[in-house]
Structures are given as C-alpha cells and as structure tokens.
A and B are shown apart, each in its own frame.
Chain A
Amino acid sequence: MNTNSNTYTIIYSTIMVVIVAAVLAYVSVSLSGKQQANVNTETRQSILSSVNLGQGADEASDKNAYVEQEFNKYITDSYLVDAQGNKVEGDAFSLALTAGLKSQYDIMKQANPDVSKLTLPVFVCTLDDGSKVEIFPIYGAGLWGPIWGYVSLKDDYNTIYGATFLHKGETPGLGAEIATPMFSGQFIGKSIFDGSSLVSVTVVKGGAPEGSAHEIDAISGGTITSRALENAIRQWLEYYEPYLEKQKAER
C-alpha cells in the first residue's frame, strides 16, 4: 500500500481525528461529574476558611464528604441580593463558584452596566458559639489572571471576621502570596466603614502602621496584585453596600 498518496493521508488523518475526538469526549463526559465535585469542594473549603473553619479537610479521609458536611453544618443560610440590597431567590452557591462570580463581574465591566441584572451571593455562617457572620465573595483581575476571594463580616456589618483569597496565575512567591494565611490573616479585625462611609481596606507599601483600622501590609514585590485585590474588595463591597446599610439599619 502506498502510504504517501494524498488519498491515504487524508483518510488516515480523518480516521485518526475521529477516533481521538471520540475517546476524549467519552473520557471528558464520564469524568466531568467528579471534576465538578472537586471544584465545588474547593469553593466550599474557601468559604469555610474565610470564617477560619474547615482546617481538617486535608487530613480527612474523604475530603469532599468532610468539606460538604462541615459546610452544611456551619453555613446555615444563603441567598442572593440585588444591587438595591433586596434579597432575591436563586442558587447562591453556583454564583459563588469562580464562573458565577465572573459572570457578575462581566456584567459590571461593560461600558453601561445594567445594574438591575446584578445578583450577589451572600452566605450566613452560624459559629459554634451561636453568633452569626456573613460571607461576601469578591472577584477582580490580578496581574496575570483572575483573583477572587471570600470576606466574612461580623454581625455589626463592619468588622472583618476573616478572609480567604485565591488566584489563578499570579507569580509564585510574589503576587501568589495573597493566597497564604499569613497575608489574609492581616484582614482579621479591620473595619470597612469609617463612620458611615465605606472605606474598605487599603494595602500599604512598606508596612501598615501598627493598630491601623483600615490598612494592611502590601506584599513586597507583589504590589500590582495587592493593589488589584484592594480594588476588587472595594468594588464588591460597594455592590454590597446597599445590603449592608439595610442590615445595619435593621439591627
């Protein structure tokens, strides 16, 4: 057989492409459930770690089951809020996944954002001592790729109880440091309001002054990522501000 003829080459490549595509499609479809479960677990774990819970996950024999159980135990309520701060029906968890956060971020990124379309997830966590903290996701663009995270506020809707940040492709050792507990731990105890105006949390290059209420240290060498994170937090807290104000007034 002449393996160099045009017909043979074309038939050969066609058959190859069909077989390869079939194998890959089959594997991808049959594993996608398991992959989605891992993504869900990661999101649940990040939400839990923003309220300083779920640390035992990496030692647990069945991580997915452990995280889901802890999540269901502590996250007692979740709902969506719109840009006016009213609660609306919907699946908060799927919007708290990175893809969900990105969809909301994309709405606001447009030149004339349609604010009425915005739906923001909120999670309510009941701690062991019965006190409640609420968890607010944030999302933004870092130096290289998306950065996102979950910030939890105490029931005065002002003091930060904990925070977790994640990233997709920041430089290891520099921007990637935002994902470390050492960095996110600095947020604990900071307040986002100054009187009645929202000031969020700012990162300070070269070290924040001791005991400052709104400032934390930037990552040395990772200033761009730190700034991007600061903007993302401020922006998302502004989206949530009507809701926060409403909740404060009700207290």
Chain B
Amino acid sequence: MKKEIYQNPFFKANPVTVLVLGICSSLAVTVKLEPACVMALSVTFVTGFSSLFASLLRNTIPNRIRIIVQLVLVSLFVILIDQFLKAYAYDVSKQLSVYVGLIITNCIIMGRIEAFALGNKPWPSFVDGIANGLGYGMILVALAFIRELLGSGTLFGHQIIPDGWYEAGYMNNGLIILPPMALILVGLFIWLQRGIQKELIEK
C-alpha cells in the first residue's frame, strides 16, 4: 500500500483546506471542543466503514442506482451513530442535533467513495476513508480549540484562563463564538497552509 494514501489527507490533500469538502458540518459544531471531537470521530467512523463496504460491493452495484446505493450505505452508518449517541452520549447528541444527520450529505464521504473506494480494494479504501476522516477531524479540533479557548476561556468545559486575568480586565471574545468567525478562521488556516506549501497557490 502506498504511503500517500494515509499521509496525504493530513496536509497535502486535506479534505477541508485543499479539497474543500465537508465544510457544511465542520463549522457549526466547532464552538466547543467536545462536540467537535465527537463529530470528528463519527465522521471518521462513517467514512472508514462506508468506503470499506462500498469497495466490497463495488463490482455488484448496478450503475443506474449507484448514487442511491451509496447514500443508503452512508445513511445506514449515520443512523447507527445517531442511535448510539442518543443511548450513550445524550448531551452531545443534543448539541449536535441535526448535524449528525447532515453527515450523510458530508461531501467527504461521497467524494471518497466515488473517487477512491469504487476503484480500489477494500483495505486501502478503508485506510483512505479513515485517513480522510481524521484529516477532516484535525481541522475541526483545531478550530474548536481556538474558538473555545478564546470564546469561552475553557477547554472541554474546564476553565483555562485564570480568574486573575478576568479581574485584570481580560474579556472572552464573544465574536469568535458566532458562526461567521469559523469561516474566517478556516480562511486563515488556508492562508497559513498555502504560505508553507507554495505549490497549492491558485493562479
């Protein structure tokens, strides 16, 4: 198996900052670290297993209903995740609310099935799915880290900024919790990455 399969998704071909896939759900769940981590793990699980099964079934899927078969496969895993979250992590499932359902239409999953799993053997497809899920999760967690630390002064709900700072006049940045700041932060991430990797710069 080629190294690129599990190395690229983290930096060179990161699904969020380079391929621009799966933005929809990535931004709304990054106000706090906990839902972001759960979301990252859920997406990794779904990308991994739906790629694996799509690859196992790749020679049997009738071409005409290909998209629907893929969607059914993906939604099967998403419903499993949703049911397990409701049973074992109820608070988090309430915070994620509709965004769990939106994993179905997360372009990363469909994108990886179409672009990789349908043309490759099950094991590399599984690794590709997991790596892409983690590459996506990495951005999610980084965003949530910044937003929770600056926006609420906490990490995983524990206070990080000492009380003394607040007494000295430090204030939590309310703006960074608001949705638009997530977009601006992703923009800055892209700037940073392309500053380092000049070959990604658009003409």
Asked if A and B form a direct contact in the complex, defined as CB atoms under 8 angstroms apart, the reply is yes
> Number of contacting residues on B, CB 8 A?
22
Minimum CB distance partner of A39 in chain B: B90
A12 surroundings in chain B (CB, below 8 A): 60-62, 65, 69
B62 and A31 contacting across the interface, CB-CB below 8 Å = no
Interface secondary structure of A, over-half rule: helix
Stretch from B79-87, B101-109, B128-136 at the A interface:
B79-87
Q: Please report the C-alpha to C-alpha distance between residue A20 and residue B90 in the assembled complex, in whole angstroms.
A: 24
**CB within 8 Å of A: which of B148-201?**
177-178
**CB within 8 Å of B: which of A77-111?**
none
Does B67 interact with chain A (Cβ within 8 Å)? no
Q: Please report the C-alpha to C-alpha distance between residue A3 and residue B60 in the assembled complex, in whole angstroms.
A: 7
Return A141 CB to nearest CB of chain B, in Å: 18
A20 and B64 contacting across the interface, CB-CB below 8 Å = no
Return B96 CB to nearest CB of chain A, in Å: 13
B69 and A34 contacting across the interface, CB-CB below 8 Å = no
Does A13 interact with chain B (Cβ within 8 Å)? yes
Stretch from A21-29, A119-127, A222-230 at the B interface:
A21-29
Does A212 interact with chain B (Cβ within 8 Å)? no
Return A6 CB to nearest CB of chain B, in Å: 9
B68 surroundings in chain A (CB, below 8 A): 13
Selected contact of B64 from candidates A9, A27, A42, CB within 8 Å? A9
Selected contact of B87 from candidates A13, A17, A20, A31, CB within 8 Å? A31
B83 surroundings in chain A (CB, below 8 A): 27-28, 31, 35
Minimum CB distance partner of A19 in chain B: B76
Q: Please report the C-alpha to C-alpha distance between residue A39 and residue B94 in the assembled complex, in whole angstroms.
A: 11
Q: Please report the C-alpha to C-alpha distance between residue A23 and residue B76 in the assembled complex, in whole angstroms.
A: 9
Interface secondary structure of B, over-half rule: helix
A28 surroundings in chain B (CB, below 8 A): 83
**CB within 8 Å of A: which of B39-59?**
59
A27 surroundings in chain B (CB, below 8 A): 79-80, 83
Return B77 CB to nearest CB of chain A, in Å: 10
A3 and B86 contacting across the interface, CB-CB below 8 Å = no
A24 and B62 contacting across the interface, CB-CB below 8 Å = no
Selected contact of B178 from candidates A4, A8, A35, A173, CB within 8 Å? A173
B97 and A38 contacting across the interface, CB-CB below 8 Å = no
B59 surroundings in chain A (CB, below 8 A): 3
Q: Please report the C-alpha to C-alpha distance between residue A28 and residue B72 in the assembled complex, in whole angstroms.
A: 17
**CB within 8 Å of B: which of A1-60?**
3-4, 8-9, 12-13, 16-17, 20, 23-24, 27-28, 31, 34-35, 38-39, 41-42
Closest 5 CB pairs of A and B: A38-B90, A34-B87, A9-B62, A31-B87, A35-B86
List 24 contacting pairs A-B, 8 Å CB cutoff, sorted by A: A3-B59, A3-B61, A3-B63, A4-B64, A12-B61, A12-B62, A12-B65, A13-B62, A13-B69, A24-B76, A24-B80, A27-B79, A27-B80, A27-B83, A31-B84, A31-B87, A34-B87, A35-B83, A35-B87, A35-B90, A38-B86, A41-B90, A173-B177, A173-B178
